[in-house]
Amino acid sequence: MPLFDRFKKEEETEVMEFEELPYAEDENKHVKIVIENVASYLDADRIARRARSGEVVIARIKELKESNVDELKQIINKLKTSCSMFDGDIVGIGDEWVLVAPPSVSIKRGE
């Protein structure tokens, strides 16, 4: 055993492995918020279609609530059914507004 072998350090190279995560462009995507007025049952389809396409819809229901509560109940039920079909969410904001959100938006309700 040569004399200099004692002073020689064994060099260990540490190899670290990283996994490259895919870049999702949706993280930088802007969410469009649309204000709608609900006047009839036909508006429910348009609102559901917009939410399904990724837009947040804030719908004013005040006028319909004052004029025709039965039709408003049907519209809300249709929106609830549509939201459950595409994993969206719906929440009332006070007595005058309803917010319909696409699956990409989560609504945190207060306790």
Order of strands, sheet of 56-60, starting from the edge strand that comes earlier in the sequence: 33-37, 56-60, 97-101, 89-93
pTM for the whole structure: 0.70
* Beta strands 97-101 and 89-93, pairing class: antiparallel
Sorted by where each begins, the domain ranges of the chain are: 30-106
From first to last of its 111 residues, the chain has per-residue pLDDT tens of: 566 666 666 666 677 787 877 766 655 578 899 999 999 999 999 999 999 999 999 999 999 999 999 999 999 999 999 999 999 999 999 999 999 999 999 888 886
- The matching CATH number, chosen from 3.30.110.150, 3.20.20.150, 1.10.3720.10, 3.30.70.1880, for 30-106 is 3.30.110.150
